[in-house]
A and B are shown apart, each in its own frame.
Chain A
Amino acid sequence: MKFDYIVEGGEFINAGIASAKLKKVLKQLGIASDIIRKVAISMYEAEINMVIHADGGHIEGEITPEKIEVLLIDKGPGIEDLDLAMTEGYSTASKQAREMGFGAGMGLPNIKRNSDHLNISTKLGVGTTVHISFKIT
């Protein structure tokens, strides 16, 4: 089964909607709750990153009997130093985002910890694609 979501940029209000929708789909499919939790946390962090760092983007993915694949694609500024971005506590979040409790620099490390596979391809001035996958069996 394939899925597709648009993520609006700038609006913190709507952030997390796609993750909540996918979570409901996974529940309906009867996926184990510990896997659903990992998918929800990882996808939410990546979705929020698209909103606060890249002015939105889109999400596509597929659920098969073996795994869940999620691709989060944006045309934002890209990430200059990926190793640095993966470091716990590193953040370039705006003052406005920080006041709302974003910007701990824990999003990417959370994704790494909760997914079975994480790959980020990014190019300055072009955008970022975050590819996450989870084994079901």
Chain B
Amino acid sequence: MKVQEIVNELNLEVITCNQLLDREVSDGCVGDLLSVVMGKATKDCVWVTVQSHINIIAVGMLVEVSCIIVSEGFSIDNDAISKAQEEDVILLSSKESNYKIAAKLSALDI
């Protein structure tokens, strides 16, 4: 599945890297504790989190997630957005909870 399809199906707001939405998504990971995510997230997964500060970009980059969905409509720090743009990390935003987002991803077979 491509990031674009997830954006459409879940009605997500695209914060960065609109031009990269044809990237593939192979798995999912939900987590707000960064080193748990570092340990569990697989390459090319979609990562769902309530964290919205710059360190999620470093984590996303290092584990090579496909995209990050920031949940609960939390506003994302400006330095996180510019870092994501610089490093080609796709940042998406949703008003829904981690639980709801994960349930919808699961319904899409992720």
Contacts and interface: CB of A to CB of B under 8 A. Distances in A.
Interface stretch (B3-11, B18-26, B47-55, B99-107): B47-55
B54 A13 contact: yes
Q: Is the interface of A mostly helix, strand, loop or mixed?
A: helix
Contact of A15 (B55, B61, B79): B55
A16 B35 contact: no
A115 interface: no
B74 to A, nearest CB: 12
A17 B49 CA distance: 21
Interface in A20-45: 20, 23, 33, 37, 40-41, 44-45
Contacts of B56: 101
Interface in A36-67: 37, 40-41, 44-45, 48
Interface residues of B, number: 22
A85 interface: no
Interface residues of A, number: 26
B39 A113 contact: yes
Nearest to A98: B33
Contact of A101 (B43, B51, B64, B87): B51
A104 B64 contact: no
Interface of A: 12-13, 15-17, 19-20, 23, 33, 37, 40-41, 44-45, 48, 100-107, 109-110, 113
Interface of B: 32-36, 38-39, 43, 49, 51, 53-56, 58-59, 61-64, 79, 87
